[in-house]
Amino acid sequence: MAAAARPGRRVRPFSATGLPGFTAVAVAVFLLLYLPIAALIVYSFNASNSIVNWGGFSLRWYEAAWNNRAVQDAAVRSLVIATVAALASTALATLAAIGTTRQGRFRGRMAIWGTINLPLMVPEIVTGVALLIVFGQVRAWTGYQGLGYLMLAHTAFCIPFAYLPIRARLETMDRTLETAAADLYASPWQAFRRVTLPLLAPGIAAGMMLAFVISLDDVIITEFVKSAGQDTLPTWMLGQFRRTLTPEVNAISTAILALTLVPLTAFFLVTRRRPPTHR
């Protein structure tokens, strides 16, 4: 205690990297996370019909997946649903973020914030069952069996994922710029269009890309909501596990991984940009 209180003594900041065994634990964590993915990628180039026995390097399973009509239909369906869900959920999330950050403090603000983010904490299977019940009633009333249900379900599920980066961006933006626009006789719409929206654009783009990835990879909600003949690429792959597995599934998984990494990398680069602050 006396040594710690000695005047002029330089206190070294705490660093977790200096703890015993930190490097070993970090390496073990990364191996557990990424070694299975690395094995998946390697075995996607397997020439053998087995998914575990190496038979030499080959691109035959990528060619088989590319020429598989069921895979083509499922991939197009997945992209359409993910695009619609990302656009719709981002638009709704933007309105919600503006409403909860630009209206000051009001009664129920935290309740609204918690309600929007509740699907992130509730098990996904619960959301899937709830959507199944609701859309089952709608099907009985209307007779409609199209992809609209999947688009609505994915939109509802993706709203919290789009909301978080948009709200984070709004909270770090300098509000004096919007105040200055109002002082210069800009209407609320003009201030939003010329000041708020350009500054918010990186957050909106990040939210949209995150929602797209979440929708593209979703399995549980899609399994509950889809009708016959509406398989997305993840649910089609899940169905293959009930049949004879081939490295074609590995090839499709690797392609999905590559497709997912593109928006995730863009998300990382966009969110690194900080909005201008008042000095």
Tens place of pLDDT per residue across the chain (279 aa): 444 555 556 666 766 667 777 788 888 999 998 998 898 888 888 888 877 788 888 888 888 888 889 888 999 999 999 999 999 999 999 988 888 887 666 676 778 777 888 888 888 889 889 998 998 888 888 888 888 899 999 999 999 999 988 988 888 877 777 778 777 777 777 877 788 788 888 889 888 988 998 998 889 999 999 888 888 988 888 888 777 777 888 888 888 888 878 777 776 776 665 555 544
> What's the token pair of residue 267?
């998300």
Q: In the CATH scheme, what is the code of domain 69-272? A: 1.10.3720.10
The amino acid that residue 185 corresponds to is Y
What is the phi/psi pair of residue 231, to 5°? -65, 135
Verdict on whether the full-model pTM lies above 0.95? no
Residue reference for tokens 């909860």: 100
Residue reference for tokens 């199209």: 146
Q: Residue 151 in contact with residue 216, Cβ under 8 Å?
A: no
Query: Residue 211 and residue 209: Cα distance in Å, rounded?
Result: 5
Query: Residue 20 and residue 86: Cα distance in Å, rounded?
Result: 44
